[in-house]
Amino acid sequence: MAHKIESELETKQGFTLNVLEDLTEDEKAIMKSSLRKRDFRILPIVILLYICALMDRSNIGSALVNGLVNGLKLTSTQEGNVTSMFYVFYIIFETPSNILLKQFTPHFWFSFIGTAWSVCCIILGIIKSGTLFVIFRCIMGVFEAGLTPGVVGYLAYWYTRKEIGFRMTIFFSAVPISGIIGAPLAGALASIKIKSLLPFQNIFVFEGAITCVVTIASFFLVKDYPDQAKFFTKEEYDLTIKRIHADQGMASKSKVSGKQTIKTLLDWKLWVMSIIFLGYNNAYIVLGIFSPTLIRSFGYKSITATYLAVIPNAAGLLGVCVVLLFVNKRSYTMLMLIFAVITIACYSIAVFHRNKISSLVFLGLTGFGAIGNIPLSLAWMSVNQGGIYKGMIASAFVVSVGSISGVASPRAFVTKFGPNYVVGNVIYIAGVGLSSILLVFLSLYYKRQNEYRDKNPVDVSHLSEEEQRNMNDAHPNFRYIL
C-alpha cells in the first residue's frame, strides 16, 4: 500500500540535500529489492514506447528507398522536407511538452501523445499528396516531441543520480533494438503485395497500427510517482523516498516555475551540453535514417539495403551493452571520448574508402560508437542538473538542440548529392569532433568546481528547503559527476 511521506522529510530532518548517507547491510538489501521492483515496473513500458517512436520516426528512411519519392511524385524540396520538417516541429515543441508533462500525469501524457503520433503515422500510408504528407509529418513531430525528453526527465522521478546512468542506458537500448526490428520489418512490409497500397504505404500503416496498440496499453501500465506507488513494502517505501527526496527532490512536489525555466535556459553549461549532444545525436540520426541510403550507395539494391540497415543497429546494441558494463565503473567523459573516436574512425573509412564489403562493415562499426554515446551524453546531462524541474527543462532543451541535426542533415543526403554525399559526411565527422572538444572543456570545468566546493564549504542551513532546492547544481553540497 502507498504510505505518506514521513514528517521528517517535510521538515528537512533526517537527511541533507544532495548528500546520500551510506547504507547498512540491511538497507542495501532493502534498496536492492526496491530497485528490482522499480526497474520491472518503470523500464519495460517506456522502452517499448520509445522503440515504437523510433520506428515510426525512422521508417521514412525505408520508405524513401521503397518508392516514396516516385509514389507521391515528390520534388527535391519535398524529399528533404519529409524528413527535416518533422524535426523542425519536434524541436519547437519539446520544451513546452515537458512543461505539460508536469501539468498532467505521466501515464496520461505518454499515452495521449503516443496515440496521436501513431494515428498520424497510419495517415501517412493513406494520403496521396506530397504536400499533405509533409504536413502530417510535421504534426507527427509535434506529438513525438514529448516522449524522449519526457522519459529522460521521468526517470529522475524514480531514481537517484547514481542509479540513473544504468537505467538511462537500458532505456536507450531501444535505439539499436528499434533498428534491428524496424529494418527487417520495413523490408518485409514493403515486400507484401496489397492491392490498394504501394510498398512504402504498407510500412506506415502497419507500423502505426502496432504503435497505437502499445500506446493505449501504456495508459494502464505507466506508473506516475514513487511517493504514490503501491508496490513497495513500508521499509522499501521509507528508504526509497528518503533517498530520492535528498538527492533530486520529489517530482510530485515540484511545480512549474517561469523563473526557474528562464534561469535554466540562461545557464551557459546547458548550452555547451546541448552542442555536445548535437554532434553526437547527428551521428546517430544519419545512421538511423540514412543507413539504407548509404548502403545503397555502396552498390546494394534497395530492398537489400533496407535489410542490411540492421547491421549498424546490431553493432549499436553491442555498444549499449558495453556502456552497461562500464557506466558505473568509468567516468562518463572517458567513455564518451572512446565511443567518439570509434565513430569518427569507422565512419571515415566507410564513406571515404568505398568498397562494397568493407564500407558495410565499417558503417556497422560506426553504429557501435554513435549509438553508445546517446545514453551516455543524455545521462551525463541529467545527473548534473541538481533538481527535478531543472532536469525536465534541461532534458527538453538539450534534446531540442540535438534534434537540429534532423533538420540540417537530410538536406545533405538527398538524391542529387549521391552517391558520395561529401558535404553530409564532412558535417558528420566535424560534429562528433567538436562535441568531443567541448566535452573535455565542460568536464574540466566540473572537476574544478568540485575541487573548489570541497575546499570552500558554505553553510546554507538558514535557507528553507525550497530555497535550497532552487539552487539546483549551484548548491554547495552538489558535486558534478564526471
Of residues 233 and 469, more confidence is placed in 233
The answer to whether the beta carbons of residues 205 and 126 sit under 8 Å apart is yes
**Averaged pLDDT of the chain:** 89
Name the nearest CA neighbour of 333 among 175, 444, 168.
444
Which residue type sits at 235? E
Of residues 178 and 122, more confidence is placed in 122
Residue 152 lies in a domain: yes
pLDDT tens digits, 331-385: 999 999 999 999 999 999 999 988 889 999 999 999 999 999 999 999 999 999 9
Q: How many domains does the chain have?
A: 1
Of residues 387 and 349, more confidence is placed in 349
The answer to whether the beta carbons of residues 475 and 460 sit under 8 Å apart is yes
Q: Hey, what long-range contacts does 71-76 have (CB within 8 A, 24 or more apart)? A: 71/198, 71/200, 71/201, 72/128, 72/129, 72/130, 72/133, 73/130, 74/130, 74/133, 75/130, 76/414, 76/415, 76/416
DSSP 41: H
The answer to whether the beta carbons of residues 214 and 178 sit under 8 Å apart is no
Q: What is the extent of the structural domain holding 47? A: 20-474
pLDDT confidence of residue 179: 82
Residue 6 lies in a domain: no
On the question of pLDDT at 12 being above 70, the answer is no
Residue 12 lies in a domain: no
**Over residues 128-134, mean pLDDT:** 92
On the question of pLDDT at 205 being above 70, the answer is yes
Name the nearest CA neighbour of 262 among 357, 389, 370.
389
Q: What percent of the chain has pLDDT over 90?
A: 59
Residue 190 lies in a domain: yes
pLDDT confidence of residue 392: 87
pLDDT confidence of residue 15: 58
Report the CATH number that the domain containing residue 390 is assigned in CATH: 1.20.1250.20
Place of cell 508533462: 101
pLDDT confidence of residue 11: 38
On the question of pLDDT at 252 being above 90, the answer is no
Residue 2 lies in a domain: no
On the question of pLDDT at 4 being above 80, the answer is no
Angle, helices 130-144/76-103, rounded to nearest 10 degrees = 30
pLDDT confidence of residue 5: 36
Report the alpha-carbon distance of residue 285 to residue 408 in Å, rounded: 11
Residue 325 lies in a domain: yes
pLDDT confidence of residue 389: 86
Q: What predicted TM-score, i.e. pTM, was given to this entire model?
A: 0.85
Indicate the range of 4-13, 123-132, 277-286, 346-355 predicted with least confidence. 4-13
Residue 15 lies in a domain: no
pLDDT confidence of residue 2: 39
Residue 8 lies in a domain: no
